[in-house]
């Protein structure tokens, strides 16, 4: 087939002999950067053009995003075609093929290096920047997320999604003011940029600006149409965190039932959004009804996954809370076994963090408070290494805190709770937990004042 050079929507050269391939690649770029469903429109184009190394590599990446054990098998035929066609490809396309190949083969450090090299040499390749950020995020490496995207910033200032990518990297590096400015620029360029909305949610959470975050996410929620299930459910999940801090439980359940759970029940990210929201509700003393049962039926299929430790830990707790104790026990043992078999670069995250965290989480679910404290206490200082965001990993600290209170370890619990109150004031659940702790410490007047204040806030928030 004759080979021609065309350009994608970001002005990067693409090698293809078919007119429809560029349309498919452009759909992937727009969908991938914007978390929109049209990303999958690439697949028919890739299936029709086996000679396009880039289309094949992008199709392989799409399959890898399933985050399941069979993702590699599904991606491999596309990768094989990409590698076979790479001889006629541009240097940028060959770098992409190599980077996706490293991902499929489990070599994330190499994938990150190749994606960063791609962005450094071809700074309008924002797909490479986004893929590099994705891998760095899953390894808990926020500075690399920022460094990768910074290569592109001077060269694509008009692209809203680039500013959204940079905003989240800045927030994960605790550069909060810069993150907000970058997210606001993204929204100025494109109001419906969902990753920038997500970054603002993180900014408001980090600053304790609950009312600002809630109002912003409610305003922007009208634009969350046409998004893939991860982005849609995750932004609604963030909105629910603000509602939880305002004790508006009925609204949370309505969103959980219609927006967080049930969009794509088979998908890993939808499942962990659901697990972590139900966990937070229960830790706040809220009865979630029978919602664990339906979720547990999907988590039961996850005991052999081990795609990421961050995912496994939440599958584990969800299985236990759903009453699937044997499945939860099996997953804990499987995490131990997997930690002994991972490549050297993954040993710290799996063996030194995920293993004790799994032990602690399962112990908490079983009401074994001292064991929960031991396991989570060992893991918490290094939880960054398993991936996930600050907001997501905060869940593990909440479980640890709950175990401290239940085990009568009231002095460290008081310290943690007061720090949480300082960061996010006037959260009724925090005030009630503090009231409980102070009462058990003999500080009765303080305990009563906190409880009275919590009740008054709840009436105001639900008013």
Q: What percent of the chain has pLDDT over 70?
A: 99
Structure tokens at 218: 């409610």
Contact 354/312 with Cβ under 8 angstroms?
A: yes
Question: pLDDT band at 100, cuts 50/70/90?
Answer: very high
pLDDT in tens, 348-376: 999 999 999 999 999 999 999 999 999 99
What distance in Å separates the CA atoms of residue 101 and residue 116, rounded to the nearest whole number?
A: 15
Q: Is 40 exposed, middle or buried (0-12, 13-18, 19+ CB in 10 A)?
A: middle
For position 2, what pLDDT does the model report? 39
Which residues, at least 6 apart from 431, have a Cβ–Cβ distance to it below 8 Å?
421, 450, 451, 453, 454, 457
Average pLDDT over residues 217-233: 98
For position 298, what pLDDT does the model report? 98
121 pLDDT higher than 50: yes
Which CATH class for the 1-156 domain?
mainly alpha
Choose among 138, 134, 159: nearest CA to 148: 134
For position 1, what pLDDT does the model report? 47
Strands 4-7 and 13-16: antiparallel
Handedness of CA 251, 256, 257, 260 (dihedral sign): positive
For position 19, what pLDDT does the model report? 81
For position 175, what pLDDT does the model report? 98
For position 39, what pLDDT does the model report? 98
Distances from the Cα of 202 to the Cαs of 121, 171, 252, 427, in angstroms? 31, 7, 18, 17
Question: pLDDT band at 89, cuts 50/70/90?
Answer: very high
Name the 3-class secondary structure at 7: strand
23 CA to centre of own chain: 29
In order, the DSSP letters of 66-112 are T-STTHHHHHHHHHHHHHHHGGGS-HHHHHHHHHHHHHHTT-HHHHH
Q: What percent of the chain has pLDDT over 90?
A: 98
275 pLDDT higher than 90: yes
Question: pLDDT band at 332, cuts 50/70/90?
Answer: very high
What's the predicted TM-score (pTM) here?
Answer: 0.97
For position 455, what pLDDT does the model report? 97
pLDDT in tens, 2-56: 356 689 999 999 999 888 999 999 999 999 999 999 999 999 999 999 999 999 9
Question: pLDDT band at 209, cuts 50/70/90?
Answer: very high
Bridge partners (DSSP) listed for residue 227: 36
For position 3, what pLDDT does the model report? 58
Contact 213/201 with Cβ under 8 angstroms?
A: yes
Contact 354/383 with Cβ under 8 angstroms?
A: no
pLDDT in tens, 299-330: 999 999 999 999 999 999 999 999 999 999 99
pLDDT in tens, 371-389: 999 999 999 999 999 999 9
pLDDT in tens, 335-344: 999 999 999 9
């Amino acid at each position: 087939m004759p080979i021609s050079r065309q350009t994608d929507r970001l002005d990067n050269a693409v090698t293809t002999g078919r007119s429809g391939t560029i349309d498919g690649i452009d759909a992937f770029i727009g969908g991938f950067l914007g978390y929109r469903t049209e990303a999958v429109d690439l697949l028919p184009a890739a299936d029709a053009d086996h000679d396009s190394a880039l289309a094949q590599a992008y199709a392989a990446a799409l399959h890898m995003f399933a985050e399941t054990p069979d993702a590699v098998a599904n991606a491999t035929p596309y990768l094989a075609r990409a590698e076979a066609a790479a001889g006629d490809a541009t240097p940028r396309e060959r770098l992409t093929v190599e980077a996706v190949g490293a991902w499929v083969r489990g070599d994330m450090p190499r994938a990150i290096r190749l994606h960063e090299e791609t962005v450094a040499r071809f700074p309008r390749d924002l797909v490479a920047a986004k893929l590099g950020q994705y891998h760095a995020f899953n390894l808990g490496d926020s500075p690399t997320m920022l460094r990768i995207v910074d290569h592109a910033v001077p060269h694509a200032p008009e692209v809203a999604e680039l500013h959204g990518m940079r905003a989240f990297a800045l927030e994960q590096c605790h550069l909060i003011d810069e993150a907000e400015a970058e997210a606001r620029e993204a929204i100025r360029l494109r109001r419906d940029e969902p990753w920038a909305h997500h970054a603002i949610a993180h900014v408001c959470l980090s600053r304790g600006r609950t009312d600002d975050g809630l109002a912003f996410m409610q305003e922007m929620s009208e634009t969350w149409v046409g998004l893939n299930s991860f982005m849609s459910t995750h932004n609604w999940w963030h909105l629910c965190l603000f509602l939880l801090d305002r004790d508006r439980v009925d609204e949370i359940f309505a969103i959980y039932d219609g927006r967080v759970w049930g969009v794509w029940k088979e998908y890993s990210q939808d499942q962990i959004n659901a697990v972590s929201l139900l966990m937070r509700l229960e830790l706040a003393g809220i009865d979630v009804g029978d919602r664990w049962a339906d979720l547990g039926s999907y988590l039961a299929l996850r005991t052999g996954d081990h795609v990421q430790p961050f995912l496994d830990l939440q599958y584990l707790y969800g299985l236990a809370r759903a009453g699937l104790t044997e499945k939860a026990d099996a997953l804990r043992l499987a995490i131990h076994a997997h930690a002994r078999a991972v490549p050297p670069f993954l040993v710290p995250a799996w063996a030194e963090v995920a293993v004790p965290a799994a032990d602690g989480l399962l112990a908490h679910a079983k009401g074994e408070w001292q064991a929960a404290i031991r396991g989570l206490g060992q893991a918490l200082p290094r939880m960054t290494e398993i991936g996930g965001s600050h907001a997501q990993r905060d869940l593990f600290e909440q479980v640890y805190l709950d175990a401290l209170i239940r085990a009568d370890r009231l002095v460290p619990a008081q310290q943690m709770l007061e720090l949480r109150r300082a960061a996010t004031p006037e959260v009724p659940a925090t005030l009630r937990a503090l009231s409980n702790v102070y009462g058990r410490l003999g500080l009765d007047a303080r305990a009563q004042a906190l409880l009275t204040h919590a009740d008054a806030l709840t009436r105001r928030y639900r008013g």
